[in-house]
Amino acid sequence: MVRNVNAIMLLVVAVCLMIGAVPASAQSTMWYGGDWDSTFALSSYVNESYMQNGVYDDFNVGSTSTIDKVFASAFAFDPYGVSNQAYWEVRSGMSSGNKGVLIASGIDTEQFTALGGWDGYLVNSVSIDVPDFTLTPGTYWLTIKPKMSSLRDVPARAYLGTTDGTNGVGTPLGNGNAFTINQDGNTNLVTGYSPNEDFTYGVITRDATNVPEPTSLLTMGLPVFMLGLGKLRRQRK
């Protein structure tokens, strides 16, 4: 009986080693514009009245990366507004009067963290798990536009917080190179609104973790598996 248990334990260890050969991954923040300065927020939303405005802020990608999540650390919502999903985009090559090239986009479920109130608005951080997509080195622009429904007979909006770059990650920070695309589809540089004209967006990537190479795990696991299987067979004869 003890021998059977020992053989079975060897098989279990071997299987665990070989399962570990599946490559692991972890998330890391590639870029974050910085914490909200609590001084200003610019509209970025779509609503049921087909009104919309999008704030696009730029970020740099240094090496080919898989994007897993996008977020904004501060969105101010009209108190009578409700949102469960958000529209997001990543573009390249934006400039005044030029929307650039759409790289990736979607409409996905939002996750909220309540941060309190500000000037009559409800402030939340917003994050979105996006279908994985790959960005090569370069400069890109991100927008997040919560889909707003109203509990009153007036349209509801959401407003993205500005930042001075405090606790920011990656580049650029505080460069004032953000744009809006408005209801009419016009692309304009964000200027004249606030002392800080960068925003609280962020981008999270999926990176490989430092685990043993799959071939090494398979090399370790297969002999152990064969040893356990051989012991179990001999004990059954």
The pLDDT value given to residue 49:
86
The pLDDT value given to residue 167:
98
What does the pLDDT average to over 219-235? 47
Q: Is the pLDDT assigned to residue 16 strictly greater than 90?
A: no
Q: Is the pLDDT assigned to residue 214 strictly greater than 50?
A: no
Q: Residue 50 carries which side chain, given as an amino acid letter?
A: Y
Instruction: Spell out the domain ranges in the chain.
Output: 2-22+211-236, 25-208
Q: Is the pLDDT assigned to residue 7 strictly greater than 50?
A: no
pTM of the model: 0.79
- pLDDT bracket for residue 230 (50, 70, 90): low
The pLDDT value given to residue 22:
46
Q: Residue 85 carries which side chain, given as an amino acid letter?
A: Q
- pLDDT bracket for residue 235 (50, 70, 90): low
The pLDDT value given to residue 12:
42
pLDDT > 70: what percent of the chain? 77
Task: Report how far residue 82's alpha carbon sits from residue 85's, in angstroms, rounded to the nearest whole number.
Answer: 10
Task: Report how far residue 94's alpha carbon sits from residue 103's, in angstroms, rounded to the nearest whole number.
Answer: 12
pLDDT in tens, 105-123: 999 999 999 999 999 999 9
Contacts of residue 169, Cβ cutoff 8 Å, sequence gap at least 6:
29, 30, 31, 32, 202
The pLDDT value given to residue 28:
96
Angle at 158 between CA 153 and CA 159, to 5 degrees: 140
pLDDT in tens, 151-190: 999 999 999 999 999 999 999 999 999 999 999 999 999 9
What does the pLDDT average to over 76-101? 97
83 with 158: CB under 8 angstroms? yes
Q: Is the pLDDT assigned to residue 96 strictly greater than 80?
A: yes
Q: Is the pLDDT assigned to residue 8 strictly greater than 60?
A: no
Q: What number of other Cβ atoms are within 10 A of residue 72's Cβ?
A: 30
197 with 191: CB under 8 angstroms? yes
- pLDDT bracket for residue 26 (50, 70, 90): confident
